[in-house]
Chains A and B, each alone.
Chain A
């Protein structure tokens, strides 16, 4: 597996973490009622979305990079 392929795998896992962390911030008993965690949850979802766009751009731009 090349670094390109491993990077794509890593970013995919990172997207899942962002979504999971966002859900934890917004839904967990610990974080509920704390505005900082609510904000962090929203930022985490946005970061996950940004990583998806980055991953698509990376795949397009590095087609010949193996």
Chain B
């Protein structure tokens, strides 16, 4: 004899926390991500302060391409939240359009990043070139990996994972919200990376 045990608070909020399971989980995960990127930003600050010479990012990095990527990510956060809002309004067709655009924005971001990396490597600028370049490749590379991770989740929710909408629409909407929280976090990291790496003036050069 078998009995199905329903997991509580999968699609409804737990009264004491006001959160459903996945939202609690993603915020715990994002807290660990804050520590990861926080450690890298702290390293950047310490290395920069301790160094006599520091490159001006704009002299060696491609500011126009990074600006384009910033606009792409801000636009993708808008389409991401609109895809969630579409599900809340029970408009699945609009959800697909908005989520598709979010995925496309991720692809554009990575293509631009590839062009940027190719330019740097083509000019012999590698992580071993300087502390600044090491920091640049570490932080932007890790960020790009996070974008790829978000795209895998978004791609799943756009493709095979979307079947859940037919059987458990509320839980599916929650999944999209959680994916949106992660995507916004990744976008937010870039919003801090862009001025830190590309715009801050150098010293002693």
Question: Which A positions have Cβ atoms within 8 angstroms of B?
Answer: 1-4, 6-7, 10-11, 13-14, 17, 20-21, 24, 28-31, 36, 40, 47, 51, 54, 58, 62, 65
Residue in chain B with minimal CB distance to A47: B71
Which listed residue, B27, B67, B177, B181, touches A40 by the CB 8 Å rule? B67
A10-B187, A17-B70, A21-B67 known; 17 new pairs, CB 8 Å cut-off, are A1-B181, A3-B84, A6-B181, A10-B184, A13-B188, A13-B191, A14-B77, A14-B191, A17-B194, A20-B199, A24-B195, A29-B201, A30-B59, A40-B64, A47-B71, A54-B78, A65-B85
Residue B170 interfacial (CB < 8 Å)? no
Question: Which B positions have Cβ atoms within 8 angstroms of A?
Answer: 27, 56, 58-59, 64, 67, 70-71, 74, 77-78, 81, 84-85, 88, 177, 180-181, 184, 187-188, 191, 194-195, 199, 201
Residue in chain A with minimal CB distance to B176: A3
Cross-chain contact A7 with B184 (CB below 8 angstroms):
yes
Cross-chain contact B81 with A7 (CB below 8 angstroms):
yes
Cross-chain contact B201 with A4 (CB below 8 angstroms):
no
Secondary structure at the B interface, as helix, strand, loop or mixed, is helix
Expressed in whole angstroms, the Cα–Cα distance for A59 and B26 within the complex equals: 24
Cross-chain contact A3 with B191 (CB below 8 angstroms):
no
Secondary structure at the A interface, as helix, strand, loop or mixed, is helix
